[in-house]
C-alpha cells in the first residue's frame, strides 16, 4: 500500500451550506473523515466548513453548527461540494473566488451530484467535460454552454476538477481519488469497509444494466436460483419455460414482471457479474471464465463485459485485482 509522506497528507474540506444534502455529505465524511488506523498516520485530514452563517439546516430535519468557516478553503488540498441547494440557487461570488484561488495553487475540486453547479459557476470547467445526475444534465447544459455536459458517465475530470453523477457515483469518484493518492490496495480496503464491490470506473454508464432484486414471493424465484447456480449451461428460452411448465409467451411475461428485465438480459447481467468475481480472483484465464459463465468464447465474454461494464475484462482485472496473486 502506497502511503504519502506526512508533509503531503492531504487536507480534505467539505462544504456545509443551508439545505445541505445530508447523504452526499455523509459519503464524504465516511470516506475521508472516518478513523482508519490500518492506513497509518498519514491518512487524510478531514474538516468541514460552513460557507454561510449558521445554524444550517440539513435534509432530514436537523441543524448544523460548523467548526470552521469558509476561510478553511484557503488551505485545503481537496475541496468537496456535497450536492447543492438546487440548480437555480445562486453560488456566492466569494465562494467562487476562493475555489478559483484554491485551484490555482494546486488544490483539487470535487462535486457530487448537483454540486457540479457550484464548480461550473467558477468557470474552471469551461472548455472541458463534466457530469452530474441525469436529472440535472440539461439544466447544467443550458446554464453553462461552455461545458461539454456528459449525462451518461459516472464521473469525469477536467484539469483537477472532478464531477460525479448521482450519490452512488460520488462514492465511486471518492474511492477513485483514494486510489490515485494511496494506491489500489487502499482504495479496495475502503470499498470493503463500506461493504461495496470494487468501484466502478468513471466511463461506465449511469444506466448500468444490473440484475434486479428478485421479488421472492413470485413463482420465478426458484428458477433464478437454478440459473445462478448453473450459469455455464445453455439456458434457452424454451428450456427455462419448460422448467417453469409455462408457455413461452407466459414465461417471458412472468419473468419480466418478476425481475424488470427479459430472461436474456437478466441472464447476461448475472453472467457478467460472475465473470467480474472470477476476474478479481485471478484464478482462471479468460477462456475458462467464458466457459464457466456460459459465455462460450472469450470474444463473446469481452463483448458482453464491455457493453455492461464499460471496460474490457483485462482492464477490469488490472484495476480491481490489485494485491491478489496473479
Question: Could you tell me the CA-to-CA distances from 36 to 24, 42, 67, 193, 291 in Å, in that order?
Answer: 20, 10, 22, 10, 40
Confidence of residue 197 (pLDDT cuts 50, 70, 90): low
Is residue 202 one of the residues assigned to a domain?
no
Residue 306 has pLDDT above 50, yes or no: yes
Is-contact 261 304, C-beta < 8 A? Answer: no
Confidence of residue 8 (pLDDT cuts 50, 70, 90): low
Helix 313-320 and helix 263-281, axial crossing angle in degrees, nearest 10? 50
- pLDDT tens profile 126-181: 999 999 998 899 999 999 999 999 887 888 999 999 999 988 889 989 999 998 89
Per-residue DSSP letter, 16: E
pLDDT confidence of residue 167: 82
Residue where a domain stops, chosen among 175, 193, 211: 193
Residue 205 has pLDDT above 50, yes or no: no
Is-contact 12 45, C-beta < 8 A? Answer: yes
> Which domain, by its residues, includes 256?
221-320
For residues 60 and 147, membership in a common domain is answered with yes
Interatomic CA distance for residues 266 and 13, integer angstroms? 41
Name which residue leads in pLDDT, 322 or 86: 86
Q: Assign residue 185 the CATH number of its domain.
A: 3.40.50.880
* Number of domains, the chain: 2
Interatomic CA distance for residues 134 and 153, integer angstroms? 9
For residues 232 and 187, membership in a common domain is answered with no
pTM comes to 0.64
- pLDDT tens profile 70-81: 999 999 999 999
Interatomic CA distance for residues 163 and 124, integer angstroms? 12
For residues 187 and 273, membership in a common domain is answered with no
For residues 184 and 226, membership in a common domain is answered with no
C-alpha cell at 265: 438480459
Is residue 199 one of the residues assigned to a domain?
no
Name which residue leads in pLDDT, 79 or 282: 79
Is residue 204 one of the residues assigned to a domain?
no
For residues 71 and 155, membership in a common domain is answered with yes
For residues 189 and 225, membership in a common domain is answered with no
Confidence of residue 277 (pLDDT cuts 50, 70, 90): confident
Residue where a domain stops, chosen among 142, 177, 193: 193
Residue where a domain stops, chosen among 176, 193, 210: 193
- pLDDT tens profile 49-78: 999 998 999 999 999 998 899 999 999 999
Is residue 215 one of the residues assigned to a domain?
no
Is residue 210 one of the residues assigned to a domain?
no
Report the DSSP pairing between strands 62-64 and 68-69.
Answer: unpaired
Q: Is 64 helix (H, G, I), strand (E, B) or coil?
A: strand
For residues 168 and 236, membership in a common domain is answered with no
Q: Who contacts 154 (Cβ-Cβ below 8 Å, separation ≥6)?
A: 131, 164, 165, 169, 172, 173, 200, 201, 202, 203, 204, 205, 206
Is-contact 42 9, C-beta < 8 A? Answer: yes
- pLDDT tens profile 238-275: 999 999 999 999 999 988 888 888 999 999 988 998 89
Is residue 309 one of the residues assigned to a domain?
yes
For residues 174 and 307, membership in a common domain is answered with no
- Least confident interval from 106-120, 138-152, 218-232: 218-232
Amino acid at each position: 500500500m502506497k502511503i504519502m509522506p506526512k508533509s503531503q497528507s492531504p487536507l480534505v474540506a467539505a462544504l456545509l451550506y443551508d439545505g445541505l444534502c445530508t447523504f452526499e455529505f455523509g459519503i464524504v465524511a465516511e470516506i475521508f473523515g472516518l478513523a482508519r488506523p490500518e492506513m497509518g498516520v498519514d491518512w487524510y485530514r478531514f474538516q468541514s466548513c460552513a460557507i454561510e452563517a449558521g445554524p444550517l439546516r440539513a435534509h432530514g430535519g436537523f441543524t448544523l453548527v460548523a467548526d470552521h468557516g469558509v476561510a478553511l478553503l484557503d488551505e485545503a488540498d481537496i475541496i468537496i461540494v456535497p450536492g447543492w441547494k438546487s440548480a437555480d440557487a445562486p453560488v456566492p461570488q466569494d465562494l467562487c473566488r476562493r475555489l478559483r484561488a484554491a485551484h490555482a495553487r494546486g488544490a483539487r475540486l470535487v462535486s457530487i451530484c448537483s454540486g457540479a453547479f457550484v464548480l461550473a459557476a467558477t468557470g474552471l470547467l469551461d472548455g472541458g467535460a463534466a457530469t452530474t445526475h441525469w436529472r440535472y444534465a440539461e439544466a447544467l447544459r443550458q446554464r453553462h454552454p461552455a461545458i461539454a455536459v456528459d449525462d451518461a458517465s459516472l464521473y469525469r475530470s477536467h484539469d483537477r476538477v472532478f464531477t460525479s453523477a448521482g450519490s452512488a457515483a460520488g462514492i465511486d469518484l471518492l474511492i477513485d481519488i483514494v486510489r490515485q493518492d494511496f494506491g489500489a490496495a487502499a482504495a479496495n480496503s475502503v470499498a470493503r469497509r463500506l461493504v461495496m464491490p470494487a468501484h466502478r470506473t468513471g466511463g461506465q454508464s449511469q444506466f448500468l444494466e444490473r440484475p434486479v432484486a428478485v421479488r421472492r414471493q413470485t413463482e420465478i424465484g426458484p428458477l433464478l436460483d437454478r440459473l445462478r447456480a448453473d450459469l455455464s449451461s445453455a439456458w434457452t428460452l424454451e428450456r427455462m419455460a419448460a422448467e417453469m411448465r409455462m408457455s413461452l409467451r407466459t414465461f417471458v411475461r412472468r419473468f419480466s414482471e418478476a425481475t424488470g428485465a427479459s430472461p436474456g438480459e437478466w441472464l447476461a447481467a448475472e453472467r457478467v457479474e460472475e465473470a467480474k468475481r472470477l476476474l478479481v480472483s485471478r484464478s482462471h484465464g479468460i477462456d475458462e471464465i467464458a466457459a464457466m459463465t456460459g459465455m462460450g468464447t472469450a470474444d463473446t465474454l469481452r463483448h458482453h463485459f464491455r457493453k455492461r461494464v464499460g471496460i474490457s475484462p483485462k482492464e477490469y482485472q488490472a484495476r480491481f485485482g490489485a494485491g491478489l496473486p496473479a
